[in-house]
Structures are given as C-alpha cells and as structure tokens.
C-alpha cells in the first residue's frame, strides 16, 4: 500500500486530491492542515499535522501530495524529495520556470517521481475533443479555443485574490487551458497575452486572453471572473468543419458536494458537443470525465516504474508559456519562444 501525506486541506486538497487516493489503491496516512475537525469528520483515523513542512520532511511516507498556496510548492517539493518521497504537486508547479526547473532536477537527482496535477486533461469536454481529433472528422485543425469563464464579481478568494506571488486568474486557471492546448499541439513557438483587472481594485489579474502559435495553428485561451452567460468550453476549427463543445464537466461540482469517483454517474458531462460541417450540424457523444485516471497513473509510476501521468517536460512547457505570457503583458508585445 502506498502511504500518502497530503499537505493542505483547502479546496484542492479536500476536493481534488483526497477523494481519489483510496479508489486508486493508496492509503491517506496524514494531512497537514489547521482544519482538524473537518479531517476528523471526513477521514477518521487519519493523522493531522499542523505543519506542511514537517509532513514533507517525513521519511515514512511513499508519496507527498502538495496542495498548498502556490508560493510554497517549490520548497515543499524539495523537502519531500530530499526525504526520499515521491511527489504530486498541484498546478502551477512553481512561481516561474526557473523554480520549476530546479524542482525537476531535484526529482531526477533523487530518482523519484514528480508529477504535476494537470487534472483538466481528464475533463469530459477535453476528452471529447481529443477523441474527435483522433477520428479525423475535422480534417487538418487550424484553430483551437479554450474558455474557462465564471461569474464571481467579488474576485478570487483568500490568497488567490490577494496581491502577492502566485495569485491571480492566470496562475489559477491559465495552467489548465495552456496544458490542454500543449497536450494537443506540443510546444508553441510564440505567445501573446493580455491580463486585466476589470474591477480596478489594484489586485491580481481577474481576466486574461492568451494567444499561442503552433506553426500555422492558432490557439486562443480566455478566462474571466465576469462572464456569466457563456458555457462554451472548447472549439476546434479544421478544414472539414468545426467542433463546438458547450456545457460543464460535473466532477468539480460533485466533489465539492462530497461526492467521489465511486458514485453512480460521477463524471457525467452536462452539455453537448456538435460538429458543424458542410452537410449541417450533427451532435456527437460527449465523454465522461475521469480524474481518477491521474492517480491510477501515479500508482503505476510508483509501483511499476511507468511514466507519470503528466511528463515533467510537459509541465515545464506550461511554466515556460506562463512566464512568456506575463512578459508579453508587461512589454506589450508577442514573445517568440524559438
């Protein structure tokens, strides 16, 4: 049994990590959090620690999952690797590419798995898009759109909405949209970005637009806390037509309500996918989401030496694009990655 320590029991730790460990064949042994009462109610018998640093330094765990604020990811990852432990770190894996490269090198030197939690690869909408792409119905793809909009005019909660390293919407939702685009098209050769603070509150960005170039393919990635009517998630345009996917992957909603991967209907996609082609519009079946696939991959990586569910080079490419996007916004120009 893989013994797991979970650093952090906020939204990420409580909803996106803890519920999948048992179903993936792992034992949740300890949680570092100040929410001891919540842990006792949901995970009776699991040890509660006050310090994420102390948890990361333990040598009796097989895996440490880091679901703490973004500015602590690097230090906790280095501590866990130094203790001889495999690591899953939430996105973004670090504050910048240089920090991320240091973490990757530490994992390689230690001979331990370091996997970044890009769980939105297993959203139903993205799985549907990848299936349609593999079927070849669209012909040669020329454009990709990824949208992640919410209506939260009060801004991001807690540290995500406060000025400081690792805050803002680009750091929160940008890794999801960027990782999805790169998973399909590879590393881009150019990046342009515009970050916005629609409330004018002087805090971190609450909306962004990122454009990526992959040769002749263009990807447009957009997210905002001030869009309430749009449920369009992914659009692909090709020489044979367009795929439009609108709706909601229900895994996050059900996890917040206390559900999990063992529940009937978990992961169902509420919405629809349609192919707009020369002969009209045709509905296409949508895939169910399956975040459990990530932790099944983690188990195989630890016990069988398989490749991790998200390759380190792919996670580093996401960090490279995030750095380039911030630079593009600061300098008001397109950044060539070469």
Cross-strand bridge partners of residue 146: 221, 234
What is the enclosing helix (H) or strand (E) of 336? Answer: strand 335-336
Q: State the pLDDT confidence band at 163, using cuts at 50, 70 and 90.
A: confident
* pTM reported for the whole predicted model: 0.96
* Domains defined for the chain, CATH in brackets: 2-117+294-307 (3.40.50.720), 121-290 (3.30.360.10)
**At 162, is the secondary structure helix, strand, or coil?**
coil
Do 28 and 21 touch, CB atoms closer than 8 A? yes
Say which residues have a Cβ less than 8 Å from residue 283's Cβ, sequence separation at least 6: 272, 273, 274, 275
C-alpha dist (Å) from residue 65 to 31, 89, 233: 9, 6, 28
Mark out the alpha helices in the chain (DSSP H runs). Answer: 11, 18-21, 36-42, 52-56, 73-82, 97-110, 124-135, 169-185, 251-256, 292-304, 312-331
pLDDT score at 300: 98
Sheet containing strand 63-66, edge to edge, reads: 47-49, 26-32, 2-7, 63-66, 86-90, 114-117
Q: What is the mean pLDDT of residues 273-292?
A: 95
Pairing status of strand 141-149 against strand 217-224 = parallel
Pairing status of strand 190-196 against strand 141-149 = unpaired
Q: State the pLDDT confidence band at 203, using cuts at 50, 70 and 90.
A: confident
**Model confidence over 103-127: pLDDT tens digits?**
999 999 999 999 999 999 999 999 9
Given phi > 0 = left and psi -120 to 50 = alpha, else beta, which region is 278?
A: alpha
pLDDT score at 284: 95
What is the spatial distance between Cα 248 and Cα 20, in angstroms, rounded to a whole number? 20
- Give, as one character, the DSSP assignment of residue 192: E
Do 57 and 5 touch, CB atoms closer than 8 A? no
Cross-strand bridge partners of residue 152: none
Q: What share of the chain is helix, strand, coil (3-state, %, to 5)?
A: 35, 30, 35
| pLDDT higher than 80, residue 206 | yes
φ, ψ (nearest 5 deg) of residue 129: -60, -40
**At 311, is the secondary structure helix, strand, or coil?**
coil
**C-alpha triplet 180, 141, 187: angle, nearest 5°:** 45
pLDDT score at 260: 94
Q: Is the dihedral of CA 265, 267, 272, 273 positive or negative?
A: negative
Q: What is the mean pLDDT of residues 260-275?
A: 92
| pLDDT higher than 80, residue 173 | yes
Q: Cβ of 244: how many Cβ atoms within 10 Å?
A: 19
What is the spatial distance between Cα 195 and Cα 294, in angstroms, rounded to a whole number? 30
- Give, as one character, the DSSP assignment of residue 16: I
Q: What is the mean pLDDT of residues 127-135?
A: 97
What is the spatial distance between Cα 255 and Cα 315, in angstroms, rounded to a whole number? 25
C-alpha dist (Å) from residue 281 to 158, 189, 284: 44, 33, 10
pLDDT score at 228: 85
Q: What is the mean pLDDT of residues 69-79?
A: 98
């Amino acid at each position: 049994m893989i013994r797991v320590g979970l650093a952090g029991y906020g939204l990420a730790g409580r909803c996106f990590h803890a519920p999948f460990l048992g179903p993936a064949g792992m034992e949740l042994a300890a949680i570092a959090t100040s929410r001891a009462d919540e842990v006792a109610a949901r995970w009776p018998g699991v040890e509660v620690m006050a310090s994420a640093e102390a948890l990361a330094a333990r040598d009796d765990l097989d895996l440490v999952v880091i679901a703490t604020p973004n500015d602590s990811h690097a230090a906790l990852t280095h501590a866990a690797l130094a203790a001889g432990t495999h690591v899953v770190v939430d996105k973004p894996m670090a504050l910048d590419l240089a920090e991320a490269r240091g973490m990757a090198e530490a994992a390689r030197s230690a001979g331990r798995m370091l996997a970044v939690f890009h769980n939105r690869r297993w959203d139903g909408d993205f799985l549907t898009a990848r299936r349609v792409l593999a079927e070849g119905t669209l012909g040669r793809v020329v454009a990709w759109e990824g949208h992640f909009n919410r209506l939260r005019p009060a801004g991001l909660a807690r540290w995500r909405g406060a000025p400081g390293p690792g805050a803002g919407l680009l750091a929160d939702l940008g890794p999801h949209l960027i990782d999805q685009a790169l998973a399909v098209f590879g590393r881009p050769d150019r990046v342009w970005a515009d970050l916005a603070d629609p409330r004018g509150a002087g805090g971190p960005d609450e909306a962004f637009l990122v454009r990526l170039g992959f040769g002749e393919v263009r990807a447009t990635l957009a997210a905002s806390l001030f869009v309430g009517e749009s449920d369009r998630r992914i659009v692909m345009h090709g020489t044979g037509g367009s795929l439009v996917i609108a709706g909601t992957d229900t895994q996050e909603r059900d996890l917040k309500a206390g559900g999990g991967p063992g529940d009937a209907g978990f992961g169902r996609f509420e919405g629809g996918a349609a192919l707009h082609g020369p002969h009209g519009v045709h509905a296409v079946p949508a895939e169910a989401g399956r975040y459990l696939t990530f932790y099944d991959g983690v188990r195989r990586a630890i016990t069988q030496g398989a490749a991790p569910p998200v390759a380190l080079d792919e996670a580093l490419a996401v960090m490279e694009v995030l750095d380039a996007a911030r630079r593009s916004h600061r300098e008001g120009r397109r950044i060539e990655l070469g």
